[in-house]
Amino acid sequence: MKKQEEVIVIGELEDFLTEIEALVRAETFKADRNANEHRAPQPYRDDMQGYSRGVSIWGLKVIKMIRERFCTEKKA
């Protein structure tokens, strides 16, 4: 693969990861809001929010790992 083609692919990957990151953050916010709006019992609400935050943290870590591996310039 030529250098220019690699840059285009990396740019597309970065754009895709940014979209996924926004989706993860939006879904986490929505889960927190739903737990509060539905006035779920407190232990259940805590579980829902904890789970959504755990999934969010995991998802964001995976996105970060992919960016570090594929989207950063390699030092020679």
| Predicted TM-score of the model (pTM) | 0.60
Residue 43 in any domain: the answer is yes
Q: How confident is the model at residue 6 (pLDDT cuts 50, 70, 90)?
A: low
Residue 76 in any domain: the answer is no
Q: How confident is the model at residue 71 (pLDDT cuts 50, 70, 90)?
A: confident
Q: How confident is the model at residue 13 (pLDDT cuts 50, 70, 90)?
A: confident
Whether the predicted pLDDT of 75 surpasses 60: no
* Helix and strand numbers, DSSP H then E, in the chain: 2, 0
Whether the predicted pLDDT of 7 surpasses 80: no
pLDDT digits 0-9 by tens, 47-67: 766 777 777 888 888 888 888
* Boundaries of domain holding 14: 3-69
Residue 39 in any domain: the answer is yes
50-71 burial: b if 16+ Cβ within 10 Å, else e = eebeeebeebeeebeeebeeee
